[in-house]
């Protein structure tokens, strides 16, 4: 009497009371280490999420300018991680279904191209971050030189527009050098008819006239062999073409030619993928990106003008052969510099 009627379990045995049995191994049978770890993990994640949200509110209230940078960086890492998962899924499907790269849907091909380009740009930054405490220096450099060091995931929407304008201005500096190179090359053309058509095409572009696709196709044979074929043109002309694709010109001539050829052929494959998808399926952002990659600055153009130009471009490019990548590259100048047609022209 006065004692508790509760029977505590004893390890290795069991006890019973008048109301029934109490298993002494109840705790052992119902305890799961994995469930416990899962519960602890959820608690830790919830705590970190709460602390992060509190920290972000603090930054937003006290340091609004730094908060914009911090938020952009965090968003960039999430987008980069999502892109990596998406490319891994695409590659896995290619391997399992034995799909060739050129037969992929347009958006899958474009995703692989963009992620590969971003990773190539990010590699030097990752290498700089390896030494101890170097990440602090890298962070300062990224803050001071976001265009040169960061990839598009870590740019704000305003920076994306601004930096694309800067890059287009850099490649536009080479436009007239490319046209001049075509004019000077025309003197070595033996066929008088082709020579006059090439000269006329260059004169049209110089005078501000936007050429039609038939003007370009009239001289296409000059770009698959001498003097303007990808393996026949002068090294200076190839180095000017590198600026159109944002490639470094500081390489040997034969290497530059191979890189130009592979990048141009990749864009030609993307053009054919757009045809399979249907140009009308592209949204406004995809239209602008497609125009920009092919040499046209879409900043001052409406979606209708982008669609008009891209339609003309697809009509031109889908009739080209693999050996005509040089013509493809030169038309990134010929078919862009005077579009749209201005009244002053």
Peptide bond into 227 cis (omega under 30): yes
Single out the residue of 333, 269, 265, 278 nearest to residue 307, CA to CA. Answer: 278
Q: What are phi and psi of 22, to 5 degrees?
A: -120, 115
Residue of 169, 111, 146, 121 whose CA lies nearest to 289: 111
Alpha-carbon distance of 130 to 49, in angstroms, equals 28
Report the C-alpha gap between 340 and 295 in whole angstroms: 13
Determine the number of helices (DSSP H) and then strands (DSSP E) in the chain: 15, 2
Q: Tell me how far apart the alpha carbons of residues 55 and 72 are, in angstroms, rounded to a whole number.
A: 15
Backbone dihedral region for residue 246 (phi beyond 0: left; psi -120 to 50: alpha; all else: beta) = left
d(CA 235, CA 222): 17
**Contacts for 82 with CB less than 8 Å, ≥ 6 apart:** none
Ordered per-residue pLDDT tens for the chain, 345 residues: 444 444 444 444 444 444 444 444 444 455 456 555 566 667 766 766 677 677 667 766 777 777 777 777 778 888 888 998 999 999 999 999 999 999 999 999 999 999 999 888 888 777 776 777 666 677 777 778 889 888 888 888 888 889 999 999 999 999 999 999 999 998 889 899 999 999 999 999 999 999 999 999 999 999 988 889 998 899 999 999 999 999 999 999 889 999 999 999 999 999 999 999 999 999 999 999 999 999 999 988 999 999 999 999 999 998 899 999 999 999 999 999 999 864 433
pTM metric for this prediction: 0.79
């Amino acid at each position: 009497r006065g004692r508790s009627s509760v029977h505590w379990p004893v390890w290795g045995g069991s006890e019973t009371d008048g109301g029934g049995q109490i298993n002494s191994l109840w705790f052992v049978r119902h305890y799961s280490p994995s469930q416990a770890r899962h519960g602890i993990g959820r608690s830790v994640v919830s705590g970190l999420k709460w602390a992060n949200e509190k920290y972000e509110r603090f930054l937003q209230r006290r340091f609004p300018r730094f908060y914009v940078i911090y938020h952009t960086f965090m968003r960039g890492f999430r987008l980069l991680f999502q892109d990596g998962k998406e490319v891994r899924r695409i590659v896995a499907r290619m391997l399992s279904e034995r799909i060739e790269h050129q037969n992929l849907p347009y958006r899958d091909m474009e995703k692989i191209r963009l992620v590969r380009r971003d990773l190539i740009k990010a590699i030097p930054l990752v290498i700089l971050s390896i030494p101890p405490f170097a990440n602090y220096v890298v962070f300062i450099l990224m803050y001071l030189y976001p265009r040169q060091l960061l990839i598009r995931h870590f740019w704000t929407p305003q920076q994306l527009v601004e930096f694309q304008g800067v890059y287009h201005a850099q490649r536009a500096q080479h436009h007239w050098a490319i046209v001049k190179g075509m004019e000077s090359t025309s003197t070595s053309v033996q066929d008088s008819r082709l020579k006059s058509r090439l000269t006329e095409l260059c004169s049209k572009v110089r005078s501000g006239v936007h050429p039609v696709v038939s003007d370009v196709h009239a001289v296409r044979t000059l770009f698959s062999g001498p003097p303007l074929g990808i393996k026949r043109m002068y090294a200076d002309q190839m180095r000017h073409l590198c600026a159109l694709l944002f490639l470094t010109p500081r390489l040997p001539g034969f290497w530059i030619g191979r890189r130009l050829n592979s990048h141009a052929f990749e864009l030609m494959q993307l053009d054919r993928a757009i045809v399979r998808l249907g140009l009308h399926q592209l949204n406004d952002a995809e239209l602008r990106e497609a125009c920009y990659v092919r040499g046209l600055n879409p900043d001052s153009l409406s979606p209708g003008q982008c669609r008009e130009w891209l339609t003309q471009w697809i009509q031109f490019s889908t009739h080209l052969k693999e050996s005509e990548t040089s013509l493809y590259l030169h038309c990134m100048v010929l078919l862009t510099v005077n579009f749209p047609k201005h009244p002053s022209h």
